[in-house]
Structure 1
């Protein structure tokens, strides 16, 4: 099954205001213990940092958690060799086909390395029995180690991505009949890229990268070492032939808050987290237009009540904004309706992995 779903555009966090995540603090309230469902066997938290690849971070969490579940492994203490790389999954999240027919992805989206969808990333890997690089081989933190790592120097990182895009655009302006111009440009480009990023690019790799038709393809070729695509550096989903990617069939049609909450609790009760997409981070979100869409992982549900008996639904979000966000926002426990209403219950809002029937 191939998914035919709209592309999810992700914001670079430092450029976007964050709305919709309303923490539910249980310190002065009572948690309904009978209602609580929480998936605790989850991998170490990864960050999207200044790249808008939240969909790939979410996909990494779901896939790695499923492997831990299948193999009865303690996910909290696994090595990087057992964690799917978000950078490696990012290109899969941009892919969407239906048979031989390409998706409705626009040329602008195709050129954007920060565009994708959680469901697409899962579907491309699970249904095809495919593989993706491990975090041990392909880590954003290691690539950015020359500027302090993946959680340091936000403005410096943004400048690096801007410079990378400028280099790609400028490569298209090199006169075709000027060999010296070409040689000079590629020599300088290699020095600039390797001076900013912990990458070792061969001349062949560099030429192939600059020869790509879109910036997204160029970005992938620069960032993803061919060595990391080898099977001994990659991960697949265990028992993938017995697994499938699911979407709530009602979401995008007649779905509403009650329906989505029922689905969330049902999947969590099976011991699996879910991917939550289409979260509009705009100050005033609308169904027809959203400038900043986001994706995350749902890892828990509980009902919290005050002293007067008034209760609210709370879901636990694993966000791709780092451990500091998680800690500052009640470990990710947020008001369910406030957040879920911002999805407008659109198609592919919820996705998860389950056993084939």
Structure 2
């Protein structure tokens, strides 16, 4: 069995990767301002904002954004400033946050969460479970997602490599099942063995190759990935980061219909950003934005974080004409630093972006200090 078979890219799988090619790409609602707006009039940026990361083309924007908020709160607690100095190995594992985006009968026991890598998980559920139920999450060093993120010279090479590895793993698991179904057990074992050796050699996985081979026996692709990407040892105390001492509670906006407007929401964002990044649980990246946002098969729903506010103007003196200034929000999409670099460092026009959130109830979520107003730590429920 050759590596070409294992890691070939499958064109039929491309719709599976909703935001697979993001570098240099613009989306409805993410509008970069004109270069004429250059003079900052005011700005609000939280003190503790982690370094940008990439979700590697997978639709895991919810759990990835939840991880950003968890790491921001941990930086605040540990007084790590700038937060970008937190070692990547000590950050919250994207993979573990994916499995925490699941409702289970005993949400406080981290070992009850399924070891699966499933797309489309809720950022709200992942955030609440990590911060208030399990109060811990695996370290990136134990369940490393970043080892699968390509760091090649050009954006085109990186996008191609990312698609190839994930599509190739899906192909390998499908082929393994076909071999067994056709009665060629040796073919299946050879395929699994070659895949395991390639992952260890080329992607730097430190897993036991036997464990990777055993993971091929899982019925679904999601469980197959989870079994070898999230080893059982990642639920051991030494491989977990704790959120148990954080004096935080879950907060959300808006709760009242009178607050479901652009100006009210922008004012709230400016207040919250003094202390914390904000998760936008749902923004519709299509024109015009709609409630179903493309439906199940062609969904354009996205989750990202707001990590800054600024008012920029055309002239240094404070203008009397409002048209001379624009409100901007800095967003973190978990599309990697490359998208930010090619899109004004993530700064977009506030009004079209917020309009694409449709001002849904409790759509903006964050970890607030205990004692502040809002929801008093209630469960987001979804």
1:57 aligns with 2:71: no
Q: Show the counterpart of 1:103.
A: none
Partner deviation per Cα, 1:146-205 (whole Å, 9 max, x = no partner): x85997532232122122223333444455795xx3343033123124415433554653
Of residues 71, 76, 79, the one that matches 2:78 is 71
Q: Show the counterpart of 1:87.
A: 95
Partner deviation per Cα, 1:113-164 (whole Å, 9 max, x = no partner): 221122111111111143222223333332457x859975322321221222
Partner deviation per Cα, 1:44-75 (whole Å, 9 max, x = no partner): 22111222322233222211110111222212
CA distance in 2 between counterparts of 1:114 and 1:150 reads 26
Matched ranges for 1:201-216 at <5 A: 201-202=207-208, 205-206=211-212, 209-216=215-222
Of residues 202, 225, 235, the one that matches 2:231 is 225
Change (3 A) 1:55 1:40: same
Q: Show the counterpart of 1:185.
A: 188
Matched ranges for 1:1-357 at <5 A: 11-14=18-21, 18-24=27-33, 28-33=37-42, 36-74=43-81, 75-93=83-101, 95-96=102-103, 113-143=118-148, 153-173=158-178, 178=183, 181-196=184-199, 197-202=203-208, 205-206=211-212, 209-240=215-246, 242-250=247-255, 255-269=260-274, 271-290=275-294, 291-306=299-314, 308-310=321-323, 311-347=325-361, 349-357=363-371
Change (3 A) 1:235 1:99: closer
Change (3 A) 1:263 1:272: same
CA distance in 2 between counterparts of 1:130 and 1:150 reads 39
Change (3 A) 1:222 1:66: same
CA distance in 2 between counterparts of 1:99 and 1:133 reads 18
Partner deviation per Cα, 1:207-262 (whole Å, 9 max, x = no partner): 6533444322222223223333332222121514x322222252899733234323
Q: Is the 8 A contact 1:144 1:150 kept in 2?
A: no
Q: Show the counterpart of 1:5.
A: none
Q: Show the counterpart of 1:3.
A: none
Query: Is the deviation greater in 135-144 or in 153-162?
Result: 135-144
Could you tell me how far 1:339 is from its partner in structure 2? 0.9
Equivalent residue of 1:116, what SS? coil
CA distance in 1 between counterparts of 2:236 and 2:117 reads 25
- Which stretches in structure 2 are left out of the alignment for 5+ residues? 1-15, 108-114, 316-320, 372-382
CA distance in 2 between counterparts of 1:348 and 1:170 reads 43
CA distance in 2 between counterparts of 1:211 and 1:268 reads 46
CA distance in 2 between counterparts of 1:244 and 1:209 reads 37
CA distance in 1 between counterparts of 2:286 and 2:271 reads 29
CA distance in 2 between counterparts of 1:58 and 1:341 reads 20
TM-score in terms of structure 1 length: 0.79
Output the aligned Cα RMSD.
Answer: 3.4
Change (3 A) 1:78 1:149: farther
Q: Show the counterpart of 2:110.
A: none
